[in-house]
Structure 1
Amino acid sequence: MTGATGYIGGRLVPRLLAAGHEVRVLVRRPERLRDVPWAASAEVVAGDLADADAVDAAMADVQAVYYLVHSMGGRGDFERTELDIARTVAGAAYRNGVGRIVYLGGLHPEGEKLSRHLRSRAEVGEILLASGVPTIVLQAGVVIGSGSTSFEMIRHLTEVLPYMPAPRWVRSFIQPIAVRDVLHYLIAAADVPPEVNRAFDIGGPDVFRYGQLMNGYAVEAGLPQRPIAALPVLTPWLAGQWVNLVTPIPRRLAVPIIESLQYDCVMHDHDIDEVIPPPAAGLLPYRTAVRLALEREREGEVETSWRNAEVAGAPSDPLPSDPDWAGHTVFVDERERMSRATPAALWRVIEGVGGENGWYSFPLAWALRGWIDKLTGGVGLRRGRLDPDTLHVGDAVDFWRVEAIERGSFLRLRAEMRVPGRAWLELSASGGSGGSGGSGASAGSRYRQRAVFFPRGLAGRLYWWSILPFHGVIFSGMANRITAEAEADERV
């Protein structure tokens, strides 16, 4: 399995395990899977898909390979990178005698000049089909499920604007498919006879214009239907900026989605039915899929989300240890506070930072920083977090990502906002006497907070010095409010 930390892959692995398969996942950072419920039941292998030796080793004794990776936010010559990786996977699968490759691609029209991202996905499928390994390419359009990028985009576009001045693509025909049904096809694809080597379109039972998708969401969410005016002047790039501003979807994800919406994306045939029959209960209608997604979100049962996708261009290397800083320029802001709250109460506040709870200091400054990030194409603060109370390694928290967590005592967040350098924020709770966190309350607790910034060139240094006057307010206020909140929560 490749892409196990992604939206589809993270849902597919536990279902394959439940179906009785043994699953091996190849990921660059295994610690991202440390806290997922199925981690102990799967074999987790560290490796990069660009490393041919690592891919070869991972495919030893494998019967089927799921290829579920795609650089939605890729920059520069991402197409070449995508094709090189596909060739590496195809070659390794052939050499290791793999019996089946399953690839999830994008639904697209025939004979059209495709966007870079749709073209890349189609070319990856062609490489895998020519690998000499029996391959099935499943081509899906808009995927509807709790936490999916497409669903979140429809939801926020509908909820934010009571009147919708929209680009021409709201008139395009779309055939959405429920994430449940995508998983059905993916699971069954592993057992398709070896003579099958082709691409298949998959989609739900409904075909709507994109504007109808938004109003279908409005009905299920109990909102008035939105009048929509299609404007011919918004290019995909301009529409990407607009979606970036009015929804939590960052520009790196919005632009490729919008580019794909320039076309009518509907199934050309239903040949898939001859190879993989639809689910016994039938394919989910669009509004039913929306209703189920909303119910799961209300019940806090979102398995995976676009929020936890890696941000292209953001630093992914972990924070070097302090001794490794020698000889490097590094800026640090450290704060420490004593609290009457227990370490456990203090930790609950630390683990709950971000999202609806905010950052406990100068909300206007944090909001402004979030808007600046959005305007420059970043993720902004509205990405929020998947779970309001619990964090795991790899989780997104607004424009941060959880890099390390020692539950009950230590949290390190890595910045994914647009900054000229690399930044981290560390929050920790310990016993008041300096010992480790626990339940003992007699000595209270000690709160430590550290912001670390590795500047990149002169721009990085100027950035740090420009925000230095605000640190006394933001970081000091954050330390004060977090310890006060812990004491208040404990009294309650």
Structure 2
Amino acid sequence: MRCLVTGATGYIGGRLVPELLAAGHDVRCMARSAGRLRDQPWAAGVEIAEADAADAVQTEKALDGVEVAYYLIHTMGGGADFAEADRRAATTFAAAAERAGVRRIVYLGGLAPDDELSPHMRSRVEVGEIFLGSRVPAVALRAAVIIGSGSVSFEMLRYLTERLPVMTTPRWVRTRTQPIAIRDVLRYLVDWAVIEGEVNRSFDIGGPDVLTYADMMGVYAEVAGLPRRVIIPVPMLSPGLSSHWVGLVTPVPAGIARPLVESLRNEAVCREHDIADHVPDPAEGLIGFREAVALALQRIKEAKVVTRWSSASTPGAPSDPLPTDPDWAGGSLYVDRRTYRVGASPQALWAVIESIGGERGWYSLPVAWRARGFLDRLVGGVGLRRGRRDPLRLRVGDSVDFWRVEEVEPGHLLRLRAEMRLPGLAWLELTVRRHRGRTIYDQRAIFHPRGLAGHLYWWSISPFHRLIFGRMPRNVATAAIRADVPLPSPSGISPAREAFDVVDPSAPHGHDPRDSVST
């Protein structure tokens, strides 16, 4: 089946494309700029058509030969005329689909009640009605909160719960909603590519649980291992004030948060489950909210540094973050990164890295490392007493003082995961590479905070990180040079002191110091 996916740069579209490819479909992605898709891990496996949905000629050309078209475009309330822009694009797309002979349009909208709607939800309902009223059979799926890393609704839930152990909240936290896991959303979308018959109607889709937003924050806290959250509703917070409050507490932009907050005023519970007549529920049932949250947090709970954390280029599960997700998606991640040129061979540098810890120490402020180990033992941790199994070689699973070897790529990468007592998860990643004939040493200290205590911990130790991790690259480089024949330095500067590409360690990468690096 030849499928067209619009909105492939977005949260749903970016995850739908690999699912369609895995199901054996030919996929064409429509985007206003092809360059926006080049970083997607699946870009090489699809055809890309440059087109604006509001341009009839471009859109018809993009739809040529397409059997099933997925419409995943929606403006998040940007400006007074956003509804008119959505209306115009949907009308143009429906007409172009008819002329191109498209067999079915599949649209993902919002689960909306019959009472007064926010402008954001009203526009989404109207777009669905445009497709259902067109001459091309259409299926309009209507979902409430979608649970998965990268979903705006989920990210808002994540940050509010993790950062606020006690919170005063608007009344909408008591509104009932029926969340659905991203995996179930994608299953519905993919299956409609092959369902026979001219079905033309909307379907409510939701998971098995009906919860308030306060309930969801409570369950999230349990799954994430956070203390019970105290929620105090405050009736006077308007949607505008609520969105600014969300923007202050979380890195989700207020302009994106506002339409979502306005929508949360309305109950969003499925009134029917007729979709099961066409796409039967799996034998194990739909994914519940608790399991959906666990899946969204799975990579972190497994203590794997993936996707943007380690610049991985392969796609993961649908609930995992993607490299093209917004910077604020995927949860908080603090990174202290240092990059140095080293006047020694990569082999000499790797030998120093692989022998780190134990009797050789950590190449910076031994007193500080011993103090940290002593403090860890005071609170029941392992401290520095474990040393290492082999003074020269490391393998996955080895202990190195209060670290555990999580990954080794000989000659290139050593990743250590902290086993000290922390309000979060921490890694130390040491890398050797070549750049323009030079040996390069990359060092990253990575911390994923758990709750407010995790953020406070990172901010409180940042000054010490400047001393500890700031000195490591120079001392590691010096040790490598002493073990090797020094390479000439064109600049005339001592090779171990030639730094470049140094990232500010005091602030999370890519964000204001109050925010975090996304995963």
TM over 0.5: yes
| Superposition pairs of residues 64-75 of structure 1, within 5 angstroms | 64-75=68-79
| Superposition pairs of residues 343-362 of structure 1, within 5 angstroms | none
Give the structure 2 partner of residue 376 of structure 1.
none
Counterpart CA distance in 2 for 1:158 and 1:39 is 35
Equivalenced residues, count: 339
1:35 to 36, 39, 51: 39
Asked if 1:246 corresponds to 2:249, the answer is: yes
Give the structure 2 partner of residue 126 of structure 1.
129
| Superposition pairs of residues 473-492 of structure 1, within 5 angstroms | none
* Partners of 2:150 and 2:325 within 8 A in 1: no
CA distance 1:75–1:489, shift in 2 (3 Å) = farther
Asked if 1:308 corresponds to 2:306, the answer is: no
1:286 to 286, 289, 309: 289
Give the structure 2 partner of residue 453 of structure 1.
none
CA distance 1:489–1:303, shift in 2 (3 Å) = farther
* Partners of 2:242 and 2:261 within 8 A in 1: yes
Displacement of 1:36 after TM fit?
A: 2.3
Give the structure 2 partner of residue 171 of structure 1.
174
Over aligned residues, Cα RMSD in angstroms?
2.9
Give the structure 1 partner of residue 203 of structure 2.
200
* CA displacement, residues 106-135 of structure 1 (integer Å, 9 cap, x when unaligned): 00101x121111000000000111111010
Counterpart CA distance in 1 for 2:73 and 2:343 is 45
* CA displacement, residues 62-112 of structure 1 (integer Å, 9 cap, x when unaligned): 0000001111152231110011000111010001110000000000101x1
Counterpart CA distance in 2 for 1:137 and 1:342 is 61
The alignment-based identity, stated in percent, is 50
Give the structure 2 partner of residue 84 of structure 1.
88
Give the structure 1 partner of residue 436 of structure 2.
438
Counterpart CA distance in 1 for 2:267 and 2:323 is 24
* CA displacement, residues 140-190 of structure 1 (integer Å, 9 cap, x when unaligned): 000001222122111111121121211000110010000000001000112
Q: TM-score, normalised by structure 2?
A: 0.61
Return 5+ residue gaps in structure 2 as ranges. Answer: 307-315, 329-339, 347-433, 442-468, 481-519
| Superposition pairs of residues 79-478 of structure 1, within 5 angstroms | 79-110=83-114, 112-298=115-301, 299=304, 300=306, 303-304=320-321, 308-309=325-326, 437-441=435-439
Counterpart CA distance in 2 for 1:310 and 1:171 is 29
* CA displacement, residues 248-306 of structure 1 (integer Å, 9 cap, x when unaligned): 11111111111110011000111111121123331111001111111134533564459
CA distance 1:70–1:486, shift in 2 (3 Å) = farther
Displacement of 1:194 after TM fit?
A: 3.2
* Partners of 2:341 and 2:438 within 8 A in 1: no
Aligned partner of residue 308 in structure 1, secondary structure: coil
Counterpart CA distance in 2 for 1:266 and 1:43 is 37
* Partners of 1:7 and 1:306 within 8 A in 2: no
Counterpart CA distance in 1 for 2:181 and 2:220 is 14
Q: Name the aligned partner's letter for residue 101 of structure 1.
A: I
Counterpart CA distance in 2 for 1:198 and 1:342 is 67
Counterpart CA distance in 2 for 1:305 and 1:147 is 8
- Greater Cα offset, 141-150 or 207-216: 141-150
* Partners of 2:110 and 2:142 within 8 A in 1: yes
CA distance 1:147–1:342, shift in 2 (3 Å) = farther
Aligned partner of residue 61 in structure 1, secondary structure: coil
Counterpart CA distance in 2 for 1:305 and 1:116 is 29
CA distance 1:27–1:341, shift in 2 (3 Å) = farther
Return 5+ residue gaps in structure 1 as ranges. Answer: 312-337, 345-435, 446-481
Give the structure 2 partner of residue 60 of structure 1.
64
* CA displacement, residues 186-214 of structure 1 (integer Å, 9 cap, x when unaligned): 00112233321000000000001110000
Q: TM-score, normalised by structure 1?
A: 0.64
* Partners of 1:341 and 1:487 within 8 A in 2: no
Aligned partner of residue 165 in structure 1, secondary structure: strand
Counterpart CA distance in 2 for 1:139 and 1:306 is 27
Displacement of 1:223 after TM fit?
A: 1.2
Counterpart CA distance in 2 for 1:253 and 1:230 is 22
Displacement of 1:26 after TM fit?
A: 0.7
* CA displacement, residues 8-56 of structure 1 (integer Å, 9 cap, x when unaligned): 1111101101101000001122122223222121101122222221101
Aligned partner of residue 26 in structure 2, secondary structure: coil
* Partners of 1:167 and 1:231 within 8 A in 2: yes
* Partners of 1:148 and 1:305 within 8 A in 2: no
Q: Name the aligned partner's letter for residue 89 of structure 1.
A: F
Q: Which runs of 4+ in 1 moved over 6 A?
A: 341-344, 482-486
* Partners of 2:239 and 2:262 within 8 A in 1: yes
Q: Which structure would you say has the larger Rg? A: 2
Asked if 1:23 corresponds to 2:27, the answer is: yes
Aligned partner of residue 23 in structure 1, secondary structure: strand
* Partners of 1:134 and 1:194 within 8 A in 2: no
Displacement of 1:307 after TM fit?
A: 7.4
Q: Name the aligned partner's letter for residue 277 of structure 1.
A: P
